[in-house]
């Protein structure tokens, strides 16, 4: 711990703080001290706490002193590496860092390296590295696969990992962890600093920052925690782990002799003022379903008018488009309102970002692309339209307003339907209690490991035993077995198939000396083209067309590119369809080579195609549990708006309001069919999987299911068989229907066909390097060399069901698009707690999910069923 701030900060820094009228904050000094002691640290702090400066301060001090000591000497390797999840964030931080460096007159070179950096600059960065390099996990992977990596990083002193909480929950985090492990091998004196928002399990992030090797138990015990609040300026320092003799402190378990994995030190800055956050309370009754919040738009517009700069967050691109459109329709004052989402053209996004930073905008409607810590200037209000989906997510978003932590952030939650009121209520409670629901730490993906192994072979020949040890020092891979590692090496070499047919084509080859080497430069080139873990849904450009002069009535692709949409959305369009994109209503004209050709629809046209993406994030487990609790407790209802209380009272009269752990299953006839609705509140993905499996089981029980829809709260299944009658005859029927054994054979059977599973497999195949990425425009010329991963999946599943790629895909499916893990938890929770309520018509709760019919897709992976329906249309045509 710092004895006093004086020796830590050199004079030039103290003067600079003074000249700005600032006091260095306690945690900033604390990080400087820890850096001097050679310790890695996790800094957990709310937005506006000066996190970034705290992360860089030690490097700036170090470099300033180094320069002062020997002004002539130049470094041949990097001093500090900064990694951010977003390109834009790296650029933004570089800009913010330049200011103090220039003001203090420090001779420090700061550069960024992203996918946009020109080739000559990249080459120069390796020849003559800057002092501080700001980059992304993908670029780090590329640098580490470079033959000069050892030279470039050997003098590296420090790594700063920004927004670590958001990185560690994805495969990018896996890739970063592996890169970090390599950095620690190259530069053993390195220390890492993680900057993070508040998280549920800080220890997971602390593990991430130090090599995970079992250290001998340090003398004098592990990290002791002291309260160090009450000193420094406004920032109160929470828990500070005391330094121990080893570089990383090891938390020892109370059991003697047992040593847990090493942890980085922890510095926590408690949040400043509590956020001022409310739910927008409309007097009008909200609809029972839908996500557009149309009724609330005048109120949102009014809020924008009354504030300086507002960020309007929504969950999906479609909602962004819709909200933007609605606000413009109301914009009588011609306020500068802009739109920002990931599908828009980069140049358009940059223009919005620049206008935002320059303070020229009154509001930006945006999606998760702006979730992370970019400093957009003076935002004084955050509006979140639609369901919050998670407590931590909403706190992050609220943190975007009022970037000074001592003043309360101001935010409004705007529910779009009646159910979302419940979710907003639960989120408000969570924010009030500062409860967190960040996801669990990941177990590193085997597909990412395959990619990394090839990269390491490109850098230098490796001995498998050494690389295995290095990889296991990365937290997500600490538990990696030698067998899995070997399987990945075999995959990289020849695909790792039991039928060893490809030995002579091997990409990496084991020499007599026991070292694996990359076969030739072409393989290294292949690696460079395919690095990274982000596999977007195949995107297709949206190009504005013009009417041809020579051939009136035909549209030619002569206009500008408006952005990109998912290929699968484009597939559902037919010429003449209108849809919202880039803030305009566009008419689909057809597909032209590599783009979707569109024209501007006539003013006043309503978009015909309602959406091209559902709710992106499923409801978090934590919020879901809270929603169930609020629902189950009538005393809680007093805190809800009247319209919802009345709705719940009606539900109680007509059916049942289930307890927090119960599953209510309602059955009722309607329009000649039999419906079953149930309300697990476990998020849309888990419900979709449940729906798929339930329909398979109902089919087997000869109850003739016809389809189902799911949303975040529940699902509805319908068919020609009377489920209620069956329950009457067989009282245990529902328990059996919802029994956990559906996750066995039924799941396996479905996975053979499941489109979502095939998509998951494709992602793994691309990341692992089985197939090459498709680049826009390549499709036409490369038809011969592309291969459908669906076909590969079918063949591999039949012949080697335990192949490492299939295992990687199954692990993803458990938590990803299929959310099998959560479904398992759900089925366990409701065992013996299913309450069946036969009704003669739909209940108030049931209406909310029934309204999704026609709005949401009806799910089915049964090709024959779809084909039979299409064939019937041919017969109808013939008979007509």
Based on the shown chain and the rule CB under 8 A, indicate whether residue 548 belongs to the binding site for another protein.
Answer: no
Tokens for 94, please give them.
């570089």
**Are 275 and 340 within 8 A, CB to CB?**
no
When asked if residue 494 is in the footprint of another protein (CB under 8 A), the reply is yes
3-state helix, strand, coil in the chain (%, to 5): 45, 15, 40
Within a 10 A sphere around the Cβ of 840, how many other Cβ atoms?
8
Residue closer to another protein, measured from CB, 201 or 865: 865
Q: How far is the CB of 567 from another protein (least distance, A)?
A: 8
Cβ distance to another protein smaller for residue 11 or 783: 783
Minimal distance in Å, beta carbon 501 to another protein? 4
Q: Which residues contact 597 (CB under 8 A, 6 or more apart)?
A: 543, 545, 555, 557, 588, 589, 590, 591
Does residue 284 bind another protein (CB under 8 A)? no
Minimal distance in Å, beta carbon 869 to another protein? Answer: 5
Q: To the nearest 10°, the Cα dihedral for 451, 456, 461, 464?
A: -70
Q: Closest distance between another protein and the C-beta of residue 578, in Å?
A: 18
SS3 813: helix
For another protein, what does the binding mask look like between residues 14 and 53, x meaning CB under 8 A? ----------------------------------------
Secondary structure in 3-state letters for 539-604: EEEEEECEECCCCCCCEECCCCEEEEEEHHHHHCCCCCCEEEECCEEEEEEEEECCEEEEEECCCC
Query: Of 361 and 685, which has the nearer Cβ to another protein?
Result: 685
# residues contacting another protein (CB under 8 A): 56
Cα distances (Å, whole numbers) of residue 248 to 40, 65, 80, 160, 470: 7, 25, 19, 16, 17
Q: Is 750 exposed, middle or buried (0-12, 13-18, 19+ CB in 10 A)?
A: buried
Site for another protein in 802-841 (CB under 8 A): 803
Structure token digits, residue 749? 């059977």
What tokens were used for 845? 């709760």
34, 362, 507, 543: which one binds another protein (CB under 8 A):
507
DSSP state of 742: G
Name residues contacting another protein, limited to 551-570 (CB under 8 A). none
Q: How far is the CB of 866 from another protein (least distance, A)?
A: 5
Asked if 630 and 636 count as a contact pair (C-beta separation under 8 A), the reply is: yes
Query: Could you say whether residue 591 binds another protein (CB under 8 A)?
Result: yes
The single residue listed with the structure tokens 């929603």 is 627
Choose the binding region for another protein from 51-59, 338-346, 420-428, 783-791 (rule: CB under 8 A).
783-791
**Residue 749 binds another protein (CB under 8 A):** no
Write the DSSP symbol of residue 242: P
The CA-based angle 745-749-753, given to 5 degrees, is 160
- Residue number, 549 or 702, with CB nearest to another protein: 702
Among 111, 239, 594, 794, binds another protein (CB under 8 A): 794
In the stretch 526-545, what mask flags binding to another protein with x, by CB under 8 A? x-------------------
User: Which residue of 462, 491, 647, 761 would you call a contact of another protein, by CB under 8 A?
Assistant: 491
Q: Which of 1, 6, 346, 791 binds another protein (CB under 8 A)?
A: 791
d(CA 56, CA 775): 36
Contact with another protein (CB under 8 A): which of 282, 771, 817, 825?
771
The answer to the question of residue 792 lying near another protein (CB under 8 A) is: yes
- Of the candidate spans 178-186, 269-277, 662-670, 867-875, the one that interacts with another protein by CB under 8 A turns out to be 867-875
Nearer to another protein, 119 or 870 (CB): 870
Q: Which of 785, 802, 828, 840 binds another protein (CB under 8 A)?
A: 785
**Rule CB under 8 A: is residue 289 a binding residue for another protein?**
no
Stretch that binds another protein, among 67-75, 392-400, 423-431, 784-792 (CB under 8 A): 784-792
Interaction of residue 858 with another protein, rule CB under 8 A: yes
**If binding is defined by CB under 8 A, does position 592 make contact with another protein?**
no
Task: Out of 17, 497, 515, 617, point to the residue binding another protein (CB under 8 A).
Answer: 497
On whether the CB atoms of residues 431 and 384 are closer than 8 A, the answer is: no
Say if CB 566 and CB 538 are below 8 A apart: yes
Near another protein by CB under 8 A, which window of 5-13, 291-299, 733-741, 769-777?
Answer: 769-777
Pairwise CA distance, residues 672 & 414, whole Å: 38
Retrieve residue 409's tokens: 């952030």
Report in angstroms how near the CB of residue 612 gets to another protein at its nearest.
12
Q: How far is the CB of 208 from another protein (least distance, A)?
A: 31
SS3 250: strand
Q: Is 874 in the site for another protein (CB under 8 A)?
A: yes
Applying CB under 8 A, the span of 194-202, 253-261, 596-604, 770-778 interacting with another protein comes to 770-778
CB of 704 to another protein, least distance (A): 7
Those residues with Cβ within 8 angstroms of residue 507's Cβ, 6 or more apart along the chain or in another chain: 454, 492, 493, 494, 518, 519, 523, 526
Q: Could you say which of 463, 505, 558, 653 contacts another protein (CB under 8 A)? A: 505
Mapping DSSP to helix (H, G, I), strand (E, B) and coil, where does residue 664 land? strand
**Spacing of C-alpha 704 from chain mean position:** 38
* CB closer to another protein, 66 vs 794: 794
Residue placing its CB nearer to another protein in the complex, 549 or 783: 783
Contact between 460 and another protein by CB under 8 A: the answer reads no
Minimum distance of another protein from residue 471's CB (angstroms): 21
- Tell me how far, at minimum, the Cβ of 565 lies from another protein, in Å: 14
Cα-based distances in Å from 550 to 125, 547, 555, 576, 588: 52, 9, 11, 22, 21
Phi-psi region of 526 (alpha: psi -120 to 50; beta: other; left: phi over 0): alpha
**Strands 259-263 and 265-269, how do they pair?**
unpaired
CB of 195: closest distance to another protein in angstroms? 39
Residue 879 as a binder of another protein (CB under 8 A): the answer is: no
3-state secondary structure of 665: strand
Measured from the CB atom, the residue of 142 and 796 that comes closer to another protein is 796
When the beta carbons of 645 and 860 are compared against another protein, the nearer one is 860
Provide Rg for the chain, Cα atoms.
29
Q: Which helix (H) or strand (E) holds 198?
A: none
Query: Which one of 75-83, 204-212, 230-238, 868-876 is the stretch in contact with another protein (CB under 8 A)?
Result: 868-876
Site string for another protein, 684-723 (x = CB under 8 A): -----------x---x----xxx-----------------
Which of the stretches 346-354, 598-606, 614-622, 860-868 binds another protein when contact is defined by CB under 8 A? Answer: 860-868
Count the Cβ atoms, other than its own, within 10 Å of residue 231.
12
Answer for which of 121, 124, 278, 799 binds another protein (CB under 8 A) is 799
Compute the distance between CA of residue 106 and CA of residue 101 in angstroms, rounded to an integer. 5
Contacts of 635 (CB under 8 A, 6+ apart): none
Stretch that binds another protein, among 110-118, 441-449, 520-528, 815-823 (CB under 8 A): 520-528
Number of Cβ within 10 Å of residue 637's Cβ equals: 19
Tell how many helices (H) and how many strands (E) occur in the chain: 34, 31
Determine the Cα–Cα distance for residues 322 and 705; give it in Å rounded to an integer. Answer: 34
Which residue of 168, 663, 796, 826 would you call a contact of another protein, by CB under 8 A?
796
Provide the binding-site residues for another protein, judged by CB under 8 A: 491, 494-497, 499, 501-502, 505, 507, 522-523, 526, 571-572, 574, 591, 695, 699, 704-706, 770-772, 783, 785-788, 791-792, 794-796, 798-800, 803, 857-860, 862-871, 873-874, 877
């Amino acid at each position: 711990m710092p004895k006093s701030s004086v020796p830590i900060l050199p004079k030039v820094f103290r003067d600079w703080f003074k000249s700005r009228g600032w006091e260095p904050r306690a945690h900033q000094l604390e990080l400087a001290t820890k850096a001097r002691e050679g310790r890695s640290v996790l800094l957990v702090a709310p937005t506006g706490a000066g996190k970034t400066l705290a992360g860089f301060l030690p490097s700036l001090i170090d470099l300033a002193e180094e320069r002062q000591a020997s002004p002539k000497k130049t470094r041949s390797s990097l001093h500090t590496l900064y990694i951010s999840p977003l390109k834009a964030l790296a650029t933004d931080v570089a800009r913010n860092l330049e200011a103090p460096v220039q003001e203090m007159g420090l001779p420090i070179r700061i550069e960024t390296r992203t996918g946009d950096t020109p080739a000559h600059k990249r080459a120069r960065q390796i020849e003559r590295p800057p002092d501080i390099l700001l980059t992304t996990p993908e670029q780090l992977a590329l640098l580490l696969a470079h033959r000069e990596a050892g030279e470039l990083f050997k003098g590296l002193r420090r790594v700063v990992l920004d927004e670590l909480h958001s990185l560690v929950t994805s495969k990018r985090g896996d890739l970063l962890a592996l890169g970090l492990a390599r950095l620690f091998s190259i530069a053993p004196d390195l220390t890492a600093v993680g900057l993070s928002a508040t998280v549920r399990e800080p220890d997971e992030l602390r593990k991430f920052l130090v090599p995970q090797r079992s250290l001998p138990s340090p003398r004098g015990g592990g990290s002791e925690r002291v309260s160090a609040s009450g000193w420094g300026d406004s920032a109160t320092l929470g828990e500070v782990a005391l330094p121990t003799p080893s570089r990383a402190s090891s938390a020892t378990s109370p059991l003697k002799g047992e040593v847990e994995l090493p942890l980085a030190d922890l510095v926590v800055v408690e949040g400043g003022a509590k956020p001022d956050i409310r739910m927008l309370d409309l007097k009008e009754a909200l609809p029972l379903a839908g996500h557009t919040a149309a009724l609330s738009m005048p109120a949102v517009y009014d809020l924008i008018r009354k504030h300086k700069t507002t960020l309007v967050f929504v969950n999906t691109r479609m909602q962004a488009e819709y909200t933007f459109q609605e606000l413009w329709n109301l914009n009588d004052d011609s306020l500068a309102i802009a739109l920002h989402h990931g599908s828009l053209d980069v140049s358009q996004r940059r223009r919005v970002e620049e206008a935002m930073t320059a303070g020229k905008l009154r509001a930006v409607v945006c999606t998760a692309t702006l979730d992370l810590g970019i400093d957009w200037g003076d935002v004084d209000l955050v509006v979140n339209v639609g369901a919050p989906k998670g407590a931590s997510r909403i706190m992050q978003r609220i943190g975007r307003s009022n970037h000074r932590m001592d003043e309360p952030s101001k935010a409004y939650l705007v529910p779009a339907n009646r159910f979302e009121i419940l979710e907003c209520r639960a989120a408000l409670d969570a924010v009030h209690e500062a409860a967190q629901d960040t996801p669990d730490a990941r177990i590193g993906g085997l597909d990412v490991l395959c990619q990394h192994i090839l990269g390491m072979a490109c850098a230098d020949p490796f001995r498998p035993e050494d690389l295995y040890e290095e990889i296991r020092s990365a937290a997500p891979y600490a538990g990696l077995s030698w067998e899995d590692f070997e399987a990945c090496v075999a995959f990289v070499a020849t695909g790792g198939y039991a039928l060893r047919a490809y030995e002579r084509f091997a990409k990496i080859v084991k020499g007599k000396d026991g070292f694996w080497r990359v076969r030739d430069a072409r393989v290294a080139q292949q690696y460079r083209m395919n690095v990274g873990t982000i596999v977007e849904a195949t995107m297709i450009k949206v190009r504005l067309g013009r009417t041809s002069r020579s051939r009136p009535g035909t549209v030619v692709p002569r206009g500008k590119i408006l952005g990109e949409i998912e290929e699968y959305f484009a597939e559902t369009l037919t010429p003449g369809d209108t849809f919202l994109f880039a803030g305009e209503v566009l008419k689909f004209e057809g597909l032209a080579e590599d783009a979707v050709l569109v024209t501007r629809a006539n003013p006043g046209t309503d978009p015909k195609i309602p959406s091209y993406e559902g709710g992106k994030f499923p409801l978090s487990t934590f919020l879901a549990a809270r929603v169930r609790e609020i629902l189950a407790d009538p005393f809680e209802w007093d805190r809800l708006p009247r319209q919802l209380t009345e709705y719940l009272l009606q539900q109680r009269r007509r059916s049942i309001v289930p307890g927090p752990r119960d599953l209510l299953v309602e059955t009722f006839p309607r329009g000649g069919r039999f419906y079953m609705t149930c309300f697990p509140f476990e998020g849309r993905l888990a419900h979709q999987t449940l729906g798929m499996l339930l329909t398979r089981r109902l089919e087997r029980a000869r109850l003739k299911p016809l389809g189902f829809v799911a949303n975040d709260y529940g699902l509805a299944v319908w068919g020609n068989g009377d489920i209620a009658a069956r329950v009457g005859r067989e009282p245990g029927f529902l328990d059996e229907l919802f029994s956990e054994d559906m996750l066995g054979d039924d799941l396996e059977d479905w996975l053979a066909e499941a489109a979502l599973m095939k998509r998951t497999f494709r992602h793994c195949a691309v990341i692992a390097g089985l197939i090459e990425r498709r680049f826009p425009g390549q499709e036409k010329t490369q038809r011969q060399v592309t291969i459908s991963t669906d076909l590969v999946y079918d063949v591999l599943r039949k012949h080697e069901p335990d192949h490492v790629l299939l295992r990687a895909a199954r692990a993803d499916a458990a938590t990803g698009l299929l959310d099998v893990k959560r479904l398992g938890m759900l089925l366990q929770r409701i065992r013996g707690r299913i309450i069946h309520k036969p009704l003669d018509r739909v209940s108030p709760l049931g209406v909310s999910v029934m309204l999704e019919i026609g709005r949401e897709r009806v799910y089915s992976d049964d090709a024959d069923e779809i084909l039979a329906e299409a064939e019937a249309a041919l017969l109808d045509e013939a008979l007509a």
